[in-house]
Amino acid sequence: MNKQTKVWLVLSIALSLLALGSACSNSSGDSKGGTNTNATAEAGPYSGPTGTISGVISYNGTPPAPKKIDTTADPVCGQKNPNLMTDDTIVKDGKVANTFVYIKEGTVEGGKKIGDYSWTTPTSEVQLDQNGCHYAPHVLGVMVNQKLKITNSDATQHNIHPTPKLNQEWNQTQANGAPPIEKAFTRSEILIPVKCNQHPWMKAYIGVLKHPLFSVSSDTGAFEIKGVPAGKYTVVAWREGGANGEEKTMEVTVTANGSAKADFSFGGAATSSTKPSLQMMPALELPVMKH
Amino acid sequence: MNRGLNRFAIFVACATFFLIIAGALVTSHDAGLATPDWPLSNGQFFPKMVGNLFWEHGHRMVATTVGMLTIVLMIYILAKEKRDWVRKLGIFALLAVIAQGLLGGLTVKLMLPLAVSTAHATLAQLFFCTTVSLAVFTSRSWMAAEPLPEEKGTLPLRYLCTAALVTIFLQLVIGATLRHSATWDQHLPMHLVLTHIGGAVAVTIALGMATLTVLQRHKDEKFLARPALIALLLLFVQLSLGIAAYVTRLKSPGDPQPLNPMISITVAHVACGALVFVSTIILTLRTYRVLPARVELKEESLIHDYRIGQDLHVKF
């Protein structure tokens, strides 16, 4: 064996070891990614008066029509959901569903920033189901470290693949009848796209926040954020659309036991403050209280 | 020359071309991560091939077949071929296909990082280049080729062809980077699109010069003229496919899923790019085979003598 052959042999072996090492490594998303969950809140948990932010998401003009999805690649999808349509823009009577609304930043009465307070992570799970080769819900919110329970109600296999920028990316197959997959995200991130690489039309978006001050608009376009400390905040409404989505912001003042209105409009004639796209930016970093 | 070996080398090269198409279909369907594991698919040798798993596992099956064929080709070469450098190239082909398989595994395990995906696409072209070269070196026309004279005072053709080949290879790397930098539902990064367009201009100039010069100087020599003509024709097809691929790809982020004609045109663009590359390889190898490395200067040249401010006729 001459020198050149030896060099190629060594390179091949090195590449093999790298691949094998990678194959044997734990691909779970929980082992890495860093966390700020131990951060100490300057102000501790909030215990003062709270109010509510509610509103309606409207669409001005003619919304894009839902598109038919071709499910011939997996007959199970077509059998269970023969009229599967895109759900990136669900508009009914001019009202928009699946808009993620959250408090981005602001000042609580008394002068402290909302980010100075800590919030308890709920013990309840948030469910993401795969049903009819479609994610339900399409947009959802969880708190940092809150359990996300993923179920498969279809007679076919899916793979769940979140593609975060700040959290750990993972990709896991879930066969029909397989037990639920439980995951959590360790960093706040707005919003994490989730896709199924087996059925490329399947998409969902997960907003991960360190506080519970978020909501997703219903089919009537309505949303409500309860338990907001009295203060002045920047509220953001994000909806899917285009390559990176679209967001609008609004300054909202919440009074003690009061109800603040925050109506957002999307579409051609929308007038509120608009950013053309959301580059999956990090959300407000608030400390979280461990329980 | 062993006719059976040559035919088998051609067969492996054709199988490799099919493998490149299968790989391109995986990328265009966004099926690269249809299964999170490797080398098994969802823990099975033969999973139910539904949805995008059809493309990903299908690609793995074709790749495994090509890997087996390459092992047989290497054994065939070691058994029948006497030229030491051809035997070494046969061993290199096997190492390349092993490395390519491992790179494919890394793309899955590391979840398609751009560098690894681009390396996988680039090595695919280099492996195709290797199998085509083996087919060329074991061919009857290669063995029977006679040296040809080059016109005096001209740039040796082999260097023109080599320059075209290097330009095409760089363009293939840029194309692979562009292709793997955004999935079908994302817009392509404009800086890479512009770089790829710039590369297309460079390839057109370099390959156009090389092929037109071959056709001008050696139009009666089929050994050189044929691959030059094929490369030139494929270049025009490739440029048209490139424009069509860009137009269909612009629309795809608004589609509910990867759809035709975007899939078929982008795959055809990748496949035709591979054909432009290998036709230029064949042309370049043949220029090295029959044309001299150095060309004599013309017997008499005009040289401007700055000291006396006059042109002088100089005989060499």
Task: Give pLDDT tens digits for A96-114.
Answer: 999 999 999 999 988 888 8
Q: Quick check: A4 contacting B, CB < 8 Å?
A: yes
By CA distance, what is B107's nearest residue in A? A19
Q: Report which of A167, A169, A123 is spatially closest to residue A149, judged by C-alpha positions.
A: A123
Minimum-distance CB partner of B54 among A23, A73, A159:
A73
pLDDT beyond 70 at B184: yes
Q: Which residues of B touch A13 (CB under 8 A)?
A: none
What is the distance between the alpha carbons of residues B309 and B307, in angstroms, rounded to a whole number? 6
Whole-complex ipTM: 0.81
Q: How confident is the model at residue B248 (pLDDT cuts 50, 70, 90)?
A: very high
For residue B185, the chain A residues in CB contact (below 8 A) are 200, 243
| Per-chain mean pLDDT for chain B | 91
Report the C-alpha gap between A116 and A112 in whole angstroms. 7
Instruction: Name which of A8, A15, A198 is nearest B52 (Cβ-Cβ).
Output: A198
Pull the structure tokens for residue B19.
């493998």
Closest CA to B253 of B178, B196, B183, B175: B183
- Chain A neighbors of B92, CB-CB under 8 A: 8
> Is the CB of B88 less than 8 angstroms away from the CB of A175?
no
Q: How many cross-chain Cβ pairs, A to B, lie less than 8 Å apart?
A: 104
- Write out chain A residues lying below 8 Å of B37, CB-based: 23, 173
Asked if B109's CB is within 8 angstroms of A22's CB, the reply is yes
If pLDDT is split at 50, 70 and 90, which confidence band does B271 have? very high
Tens of pLDDT, residue by residue over A99-152, are 999 999 999 988 888 888 889 999 999 999 999 999 999 999 999 999 999 999
Please say if the pLDDT value at position B142 is more than 90.
yes
Dihedrals phi, psi of B58, to nearest 5 degrees? -60, -40
The enclosing H or E element of A197 equals none
pLDDT of residue B154: 72
- Closest CA–CA distance from residue B115 to any residue of chain A (Å): 15
What is the model's pLDDT at position A23?
41
Tell me: pLDDT of B157 over 60: yes
Q: What is the pLDDT of residue B295?
A: 63
Residue B247 has pLDDT above 70, yes or no: yes
* pLDDT tens sequence across A25-41: 433 333 333 334 334 45
Question: Distance between terminal CA atoms of chain A?
Answer: 63
Q: Lowest mean pLDDT of A198-212, A234-248, A261-275, B223-237, name the range.
A: A261-275
Q: Which residue of A has its CA nearest to B47?
A: A157
For B68-79, write each residue's pLDDT tens digit.
999 999 999 999
**Minimum-distance CB partner of B102 among A16, A73, A75:** A16
Percent of chain B having pLDDT more than 70? 91
Confirm or reject contact between A13 and chain B (CB < 8 A).
Answer: no
Q: According to the model, what pLDDT value does residue A18 have?
A: 52
The residues, any chain, with a CB within 8 Å of residue A160's CB and separated by 6 or more, are A128, A130, A150, A171, A172, A174, A181, A194, A196
End-to-end distance of chain B based on CA atoms, in angstroms? 42
Interchain contact, B91 vs A5, CB within 8 Å: yes
pLDDT of residue A115: 85
Q: Which residues of B touch A29 (CB under 8 A)?
A: none
pTM score over 0.90? no
For residue A124 the two structure tokens come to 């309840």
* CB nearest to B51's CB, from A5, A169, A198: A198
DSSP code, position A254: E
Distance in angstroms (rounded) separating the CA atoms of residues B146 and A109: 92
Q: Is A281 exposed, middle or buried (0-12, 13-18, 19+ CB in 10 A)?
A: middle
pLDDT at B314: 52
The nearest alpha carbon in chain A to B91 belongs to A5
Is the pLDDT at B254 greater than 60? The verdict is yes
pLDDT, tens only, B213-240? 999 989 889 999 999 999 999 999 999 9
Contact A161 B33 (CB under 8 A): yes
Contact A128, A204 (CB under 8 A): yes
CB contact under 8 A, B52 and A73: yes
Return the pLDDT at A89.
78
Chain B residues whose CB is inside 8 A of the A199 CB are: 51-52
Which pair of tokens denotes residue B75?
């054994």
DSSP code of residue A287: -
pLDDT band at B21 (very low <50, low <70, confident <90, very high): very high
* Peptide bond preceding A45 in cis form (omega within 30 of 0): no
pLDDT of amino acid B166: 97
Higher pLDDT, B133 or A44: B133
**What pLDDT is attached to residue A111?**
84
Task: Give me the DSSP letters along chain B.
Answer: --HHHHHHHHHHHHHHHHHHHHHHHHHHTT-TTSSS-SSSBTTBSS----TTHHHHHHHHHHHHHHHHHHHHHHHHHHHH---HHHHHHHHHHHHHHHHHHHHHHHHHHTT--HHHHHHHHHHHHHHHHHHHHHHHHTSHHHHH-------TTS--HHHHHHHHHHHHHHHHHHHHHHHHSS-TTSPPPHHHHHHHHHHHHHHHHHHHHHHHHHHHH-TT-HHHHHHHHHHHHHHHHHHHHHHHHHHHHHHGGGSSS--TTHHHHHHHHHHHHHHHHHHHHHHHHHHHHHS-SS-PPPSEEEEEETTTTEEEEEE-
Q: State residue B235's pLDDT score.
A: 97
Return the percentage of chain A with pLDDT > 70, whole number: 77
Residue type, B132: V
Q: What would the pLDDT profile of A51-79 be if each residue is shown by its tens digit?
A: 999 999 998 888 888 889 999 999 999 99
A16 CB burial (10 A radius; 0-12, 13-18, 19+): middle
Mutant choice from A13, A76, A195, A197 vs B, greatest count of B C-beta within 10 A: A197
Per-residue confidence (pLDDT) for residue A28, from 0 to 100: 37
pLDDT (0 to 100) of residue A87: 80
pLDDT band at A92 (very low <50, low <70, confident <90, very high): confident
For the ranges A14-18, A60-64, A90-94, B37-41, the one whose mean pLDDT is highest: B37-41
A232 and chain B in contact, CB less than 8 A: no
Q: How confident is the model at residue A42 (pLDDT cuts 50, 70, 90)?
A: low
| Residue A141 pLDDT | 95
